[in-house]
Structures are given as C-alpha cells and as structure tokens.
Amino acid sequence: MVKKRQILVIGNNTTGCTPKHEKIAYEIGVEIAKSNSLLITGGLGGVMNACSHGAKDANGLTMGIIPQDDPTFANDYCDIVIPSGMGFTRDFLNALSADGVIIVGGGSGTLSEVCAAYMSKKPMVAIRGIDSAITYIDGYVDYRKNVKIIGVDTPKEAVSKIIELITA
C-alpha cells in the first residue's frame, strides 16, 4: 500500500472569502504539505486557491476537482486537475475522495460537501470563530459544540487533529 493521506479543505470560493479566511487557508495548506499528505480542494478561487498556494509554497502535492470539463479553469496551484464536467455535483466527489475534511467557513456549496462527508462518515474539523453558514447539521450537530464536526482554533491544530481522526 502506497496510498497517501488525502485531506480535503473546503470553504468559500472568491465571493465570501475574506483575507482572514485566506490567511487561515494558506497556513492549513502549509501544514498539510509538511505532514506529507495530499491536499484536495475544489480547485477554484478563495479558500481553495489560498490553501493550494500554501501547500505549493511548502513543496506539497495538490489536487483540484473542478466543476468544469476543462482543466484550465483550475487555479495555478494544482499539481493534478480532475475536470469532472459534472458541475456542482463534483462536491460529492470531493467528499468521497477525502480521508478527512477541514472546514474553513463557507456557504451553501461548502455545506453540501459537509453533508456528503457526513453521509460517507468522513471525520471533519472546522476552524472556530470565522463566518460560516455551517452551524447546524443533522439535528444538533454543531462544530462549536464539538459534536461530530470537531472545532479547532488554529491551522496547525486543524491538520494535527484531522490526521489523528483519520488514523484512529
């Protein structure tokens, strides 16, 4: 078995992604690279772009699974591009491809990925204290209460926690 650890990072595309989200995402990318895991994102802008940027700056390996059927729509920091051609339905593919998920804020697209990850029983952590639509999932699942989605406070903690959950 040569399979790498595959960590999905999700959050807002360009719209709704603040400099604070970007800074956190970038640092998560750096930590994922340092952990020698594969970073998977949705391959577009905002959190996806910042996180992949961080991973590449730290010499990590990155993959983007994009809605379009043309790889040139991916951001510049994806070593590997899956141009799924299935529109936002690719959100499910992202979740299925993850061994674990890190949530950095996000809106309805991110929420659909959380649902898919939840249904396929993937461990999830979420950065506390940033704007997000994802507060309640499936009956009182609240990451701020550390139920099902584990709340974390820093990029470093996010990556070490998700690796711990994947390995458990």
User: Which residue in the block uniquely carries the two structure tokens 């952990």?
Assistant: 35
Contact 37, 5 (CB under 8 A): yes
Question: Could you tell me the two tokens for 135?
Answer: 């507060």
Residue 19 Cβ, how far from a copy of itself at the closest point, in Å? 19
Residue 14 Cβ, how far from a copy of itself at the closest point, in Å? 15
Residue 147 Cβ, how far from a copy of itself at the closest point, in Å? 12
Pick from 4, 23, 144, 145 the residue near a copy of itself by CB under 8 A: 4
Q: Which residues does 22 contact at the CB level (< 8 Å), separation at least 6? A: 46, 47, 50
Question: Any contact of residue 54 with a copy of itself (CB under 8 A)?
Answer: no
CA distances from 18 to 22, 136, 166 (A): 6, 22, 29
CA distances from 50 to 8, 22, 27, 70 (A): 13, 5, 9, 21
In angstroms, the CA 64 to CA 81 distance is 5
Question: Any contact of residue 146 with a copy of itself (CB under 8 A)?
Answer: no
Stretch that binds a copy of itself, among 20-28, 76-84, 150-158, 159-167 (CB under 8 A): 76-84
User: Which residue in the block uniquely carries the two structure tokens 């595959």?
Assistant: 6
Residue 24 Cβ, how far from a copy of itself at the closest point, in Å? 18
Pick from 23, 119, 144, 146 the residue near a copy of itself by CB under 8 A: 119
State the residues that interact with a copy of itself by CB under 8 A.
Answer: 1-4, 6, 38, 56, 61-63, 69, 71, 74, 76-89, 91-93, 96-97, 99, 107-109, 111-112, 115-116, 118-120, 131, 133, 135-139, 141
